[in-house]
Amino acid sequence: MYEAFFGLREPAFALTPDPRFLWLSDTHQEGLAALVYGISRRKGFLLLTGEVGTGKTTLLRAALDQLSPDTDVALVLNTGNLTAIDLLKLIAAEFRIEGNFESKADYVIALNKVLLDRLRAGRNTVLIIDEAQNLSPETLEEVRLLSNLETDTEKLMQIVLVGQPELLHMLAQPSLRQLRQRIAVEHHMESLAPGDVGDYLAHRLHVAGGRYEDIFAPGAESVFYSFSAGCPRLLSLLADRVLLAAYSQEVRPIPVSTVEQKAKSMNASRGASLRDQLSRVEG
């Protein structure tokens, strides 16, 4: 609603994982290169981890856009309570494998055949599991078994696990050490550094058709950084609220004080919701 006032063609700070808005900080650049390299060189197992809101899903989508057209991708997004057989069913559905399968072995046999056919046809197959921190150790073990599908020389399927740092803790468990050892390429996404914040905001505004200098007065970056600790999702959330407030006050460029006020009120409500949750737990 405020776009026209700031000279934007579209919202600059939507919270969707849209790769068009991706700004490549060092950590995003490295992560993207690792994903594209690991998948296209058929490295087998890949791992991408990072704190909540650091841009993992967005980066994944950007990587998919860069893969060659002979790549087939199955993307598993809903990982909550997913059993091993559910996972196999989802993969079969994604790869359009049809048949009457009763056991896990039936699925794996059918999958193996399809993957071999694809390899012979020169195609590369990728299984991506986002939010993998929600998988149970049993389902992760099934993922490991899938990574065993290979010929004497090649992996039949590249598997990318993406998740929050809890995933790293899970993979450190002794029962999952076999899986841990198979990971050929991995990257952990860091938060943005204070010096990245202005570039992040400017890039998103630029993609939306605006100019950072016309929209924010100098000095706003440090307030954005203190509020977000460099988390991109929190930066976008604050920026959106600030733009809305400045639009209703009809101020442009936006003074640092407006950013400070919004950051303060959002911090207060974050504190309140935390207090609510705690009192519910304690009560």
Ligand X SMILES: Nc1ncnc2c1ncn2[C@@H]1O[C@H](COP(=O)(O)OP(=O)(O)OP(=O)(O)O)[C@@H](O)[C@H]1O
User: Is residue 233 at the binding interface for ligand X, with CB under 6 A as the rule?
Assistant: yes
SS3 47: strand
User: Looking only at residues 153 through 172 of this chain, which bind ligand X when binding is defined by CB under 6 A?
Assistant: 164
Residues 241, 234: Cα–Cα separation, whole Å:
11
Q: What is the per-residue binding string for Mg ion in 52-81, x denoting contact by CB under 5 A?
A: ----xx------------------------
- Please say which residue, 17 or 253, places its beta carbon nearer to ligand X: 17
Smallest separation (angstroms) from Mg ion to the CB of 244? 25
Smallest CA-to-CA distance from 184 within 68, 44, 75 is with 44
CA distance 62 to 180: 25
Residue 187: name its binding partner from ligand X, Mg ion, none (Cβ under 5 to 8 Å by kind). Answer: none
50 forms part of the interface with ligand X (CB under 6 A): yes
Nearest to 263 by CA among 221, 202, 215, 200: 221
Residue whose CB is nearest to ligand X in the complex, by number: 55
Distance of CA 146 to the CA centre of its chain: 22
| Binding partner at 53 among ligand X, Mg ion, none, C-beta below 5 to 8 Å by kind | ligand X
Q: Which stretch binds ligand X (CB under 6 A): 29-37, 140-148, 231-239, 246-254?
A: 231-239
If one asks whether residue 233 binds Mg ion (CB under 5 A), the answer comes out as no
Considering CB under 5 A, how many residues would be counted as binding Mg ion? 2
Strand partners, 248: none
160 with 60: CB under 8 angstroms? yes
**Whether the Cβ atoms of residue 17 and residue 57 lie closer than 8 Å to each other:** yes
Show the binding pattern over residues 100-139: x = contacts ligand X (CB under 6 A), - = does not.
----------------------------------------
d(CA 71, CA 8): 36
Nearer to Mg ion, 42 or 56 (CB): 56
CA atoms within 13 A on the CB side of 244: 11
- Compute the least distance from the CB of residue 273 to ligand X, in Å: 17
E strands in the chain: 45-50, 71-76, 124-129, 158-163, 183-189
Chain contacts with ligand X (rule: CB under 6 A):
15-18, 21-23, 25, 28, 50, 52-58, 164, 204, 232-233, 236
